[in-house]
Structure 1
Amino acid sequence: MSLPENNSAIPLDEIDFRILKILQHRSNLTTKELAAKVNLSTTPVFERVKKLEKAGYIKNYVAVLDAEKLNKGLMVFCNVTLKEHTREIGNQFVQDVLSLKEVVECYNISGDYDFFLKILVSDMKEYQNFVLDRLGSIKNIGSAHSTFVMGEIKNSYAVPI
């Protein structure tokens, strides 16, 4: 479920922050359960959550899936450098990457590389095919450097508030 973006900053009080902290760890709580945790009745909590959604503080509600159990357990970080740096080429790269289902995150970064991709595949063979058939077909990639995750130490979606 995607929420409409407003992004108009509104002042937050302590209860708003408590609601956000709770929801970013347990977004499937009912309004009644959330209300009990912040010591308010359900109607004000419902209204606060709607206000936080409308203002863009809450961007989405998702279920975090187990990639291993879904046969997508090989995580690869790929640093990409473009051959040329024009707005048109950058925009085309972004459009191409958005169509790659294996790329679950993409960031435009500063430094030695232009983009940082997080890729999930089943195994090394699937990654090789992905690089040769899909990523490699994107025009204007100068280089792609892959790093393979051997073990996950910490993975949190929570914003430190």
Structure 2
Amino acid sequence: MDAVDKKILNELQNNAKQNTKQIAAKIGLSVTPTYERIKRLEKNGTIKKYVALIDREIIGKQIIAYCQITLFKHQKSLIDEFKKKMLDLYEVMECHHVSGNFDFLIKIVVNDMNSFQVFINEKLSVVEGISIIHSSFVLDSFKESTKYSL
């Protein structure tokens, strides 16, 4: 990946709806090489997919919680099963296997506190292998980004 690829990626992170001609003009390259570079970045997996970023409050997602999960044992079969279960829970926006005082950090986004209670009681706490769940609620979000520094 060279400096031109990084410029393309920055442009796409700023606005993925730009067409190739617009990107080419901003990075100082002609359209065809820009198009070819974008296709290569897609093919090699650097660009995974294109998405729309939605305002969660407009769609009624008022609660963000981070849950620290500790498993009974740090055993491969339990870890693999936990990961598999998290993939099926739409309320789980992120799941990270971490080092430190707990095993997993998950980001939960739900409509309201009642939805969170239902999620914890009926979905998360029934996952086999969980020993401890600690929850922290976001009071205010003043920086959220999906853009990587290149």
Task: Return the TM-score normalized by structure 1.
Answer: 0.90
Q: Cα distance, 1:73 vs. partner? A: 1.9
User: Are 2:22 and 1:33 equivalent residues in the alignment?
Assistant: yes
Provide Cα deviations, 1:80-113, integer angstroms capped at 9, x if missing partner: 0000111111100111111100001000000001
Q: How many percent identity over aligned positions?
A: 40
Number of equivalences: 150
Match of 1:138 among 110, 127, 138: 127
> 1:130 is paired with a residue of what secondary structure?
helix
Bigger mean CA deviation after superposition, 124-133 or 53-62: 53-62
Q: Cα distance, 1:39 vs. partner? A: 1.7
User: Are 2:143 and 1:150 equivalent residues in the alignment?
Assistant: no
Query: Structure 2 matches for 1:16-95, cutoff 5 A?
Result: 16-95=5-84
How far, CA to CA, are the matches of 2:19 and 2:43 in structure 1?
A: 19
How far, CA to CA, are the matches of 1:21 and 1:34 in structure 2?
A: 10
User: Are 2:115 and 1:122 equivalent residues in the alignment?
Assistant: no
How far, CA to CA, are the matches of 1:13 and 1:139 in structure 2?
A: 46
> 1:16 is paired with a residue of what secondary structure?
helix
Q: Stretches of 4+ moved more than 2 A in 1?
A: none
Task: Give the alignment's Cα RMSD to 1 decimal.
Answer: 0.9
Bigger mean CA deviation after superposition, 53-62 or 136-145: 53-62
> 2:84 is paired with a residue of what secondary structure?
helix
Q: What code does the residue aligned with 2:56 have?
A: A
> 2:107 is paired with a residue of what secondary structure?
strand
Gaps of 5+ in 2: none
> 2:55 is paired with a residue of what secondary structure?
coil
User: Are 2:91 and 1:102 equivalent residues in the alignment?
Assistant: yes
Q: Cα distance, 1:13 vs. partner? A: 2.0
Task: Return the TM-score normalized by structure 2.
Answer: 0.97
